[in-house]
Chain A
Amino acid sequence: MEPNGIWVYAITERVDLTPVAQIRGVGGRQVRTVAAAGLTAVVEDVGLAEFGEEALRRNLEDLNWLEATARAHHEVIDAVAQQGPLVPMRLATVYSGDAPIATMLTERGADFRSALRRIRGRVEWGVKAYADRQPEASGDSAVTAGASRPGSGAGAAYLQRRRNQLTAQKNARRETLASADIIHAELSRYAAETRVHTPQAPQLTGIKAPMILNAAYLLDSARGEDFAAAVAALADQHPGLRLELTGPWPPYSFAGTGGEGGLT
């Protein structure tokens, strides 16, 4: 397979490739660099049979390929990020040669430098909140209460119970959504920037409880422990929610100049 494509991982100011020499990238090769305009692109030569436009369309729908590629992409970015600020590229950014990459670095140089300034010394943390089994719990208790009073009669009692149950569920839902807002507001105080992602679907998380918050926070690296403590405290204050903290991540969610993740 002859590489005709160049996969771009990230843009940084400079990078020492020695620590990442043993990492194999998305195509199984070592990463290298393309430099221009005082910036460095971390790249890998990839074959178009696997990484060309048509192949990518197909491969991106193959979960095994997608997972392996996403993990390899992340591994390189994560290793390089340990050396200093970087702007991660979205998965599957493939160029046809070094020259167009150099052109891109030159044309976008001001944007990249501004993004690198925002990111320097900072990392991304993720917080997800799930409404932890509340509706089921109230449903169960209502059913149990009903069963414990046999003969209390008729449809009316059932309907009343059912109404109460639905009201309780609705209130619980409103409360959990309000809690999500409170949590996000509180955690935002620690962050230089925040970004709210779409909640993940239960079939993807494997957790039945609905996700009500999926947010990313760009923090000064030194604030990680304070932030984790704040998350733990909030979890204690909101027993109806399950909170998950992930990170620190390279600043994937904050790579754009506008804080919305895109330069384009």
Chain B
Amino acid sequence: MSSQHEEEPVLVPTSVTPPRQSRRPAIHTERIALVDLLDRVLAGGVVVSGEVTLAIADVDMVRVSLRALVTSASALTRGANDGEEVPGR
């Protein structure tokens, strides 16, 4: 890929508007959906040997927290985003 100028990243977690009118993609401009956030903060990020939480890292945080998610799926769905019905066409 071409190397662009070394600009400082603009990291506001809202989204750009696609340059042309299209019915898709749906772009979240509001609050970040919790599922997307958890994909990143639980599955991403660097794991180091934390003094306190090393044992928890072993347990596999993703799985631990997934239990919380699934048991509260309805609550999460409400909080996620209103993407449920963007009528496709």
Pairwise interchain contact A229-B68, C-beta atoms closer than 8 A: no
> Would you list which residues of chain B between 45 and 62 have a CB under 8 Å from chain A?
45-53, 55-57, 59, 61
Is A27 part of the contact surface with B, judged by Cβ < 8 Å? no
Pairwise interchain contact A90-B61, C-beta atoms closer than 8 A: yes
Chain B interface residue count, CB cutoff 8 Å, equals 73
Is A56 part of the contact surface with B, judged by Cβ < 8 Å? yes
Q: How far is the CA of A220 from the CA of B49 in the complex (A)?
A: 30
Q: A264 and B49 in contact (CB under 8 A), knowing A242-B88, A245-B27?
A: yes
Chain B: CB-nearest residue to A81: B11
Chain A: CB-nearest residue to B64: A60
Pairwise interchain contact B11-A200, C-beta atoms closer than 8 A: no
Pairwise interchain contact A63-B76, C-beta atoms closer than 8 A: yes
Pairwise interchain contact B44-A261, C-beta atoms closer than 8 A: yes
Q: A205 and B35 in contact (CB under 8 A), knowing A63-B76, A243-B24, A246-B28?
A: yes
User: A100 contacts which chain B residues (CB < 8 A)?
Assistant: 51
> Would you list which residues of chain A between 205 and 264 have a CB under 8 Å from chain B?
205-207, 214, 216, 220-225, 228-229, 231-232, 235-236, 239, 242-250, 252-256, 261-264
Q: A93 and B4 in contact (CB under 8 A), knowing A261-B45, A262-B47?
A: no
What's the nearest-Cβ distance from chain B to residue A95, in Å? 5
> Would you list which residues of chain B between 64 and 84 have a CB under 8 Å from chain A?
64-65, 67-73, 75-81, 83-84
Stretch at the interface among A70-78, A158-166, A167-175: A70-78
Q: A235 and B22 in contact (CB under 8 A), knowing A200-B35, A221-B9, A222-B4?
A: yes
- Which residues does B use to contact A, with CB under 8 Å? 1, 3-13, 15-20, 22-28, 32-53, 55-57, 59, 61, 64-65, 67-73, 75-81, 83-84, 86, 88-89
- Which residues does A use to contact B, with CB under 8 Å? 5, 8, 11, 48, 51-53, 56-57, 60-63, 66-67, 70-71, 73-74, 78, 81-85, 87-97, 100, 104, 108, 115, 120-124, 126-127, 132-133, 189-192, 197-198, 200-201, 203-207, 214, 216, 220-225, 228-229, 231-232, 235-236, 239, 242-250, 252-256, 261-264
A-B contact pairs, 22 of them (CB 8 A): A53-B53, A56-B53, A60-B61, A61-B64, A61-B65, A63-B69, A78-B13, A81-B9, A82-B10, A123-B9, A126-B39, A204-B76, A205-B77, A206-B77, A223-B4, A225-B19, A229-B20, A232-B18, A232-B22, A245-B25, A261-B45, A262-B46
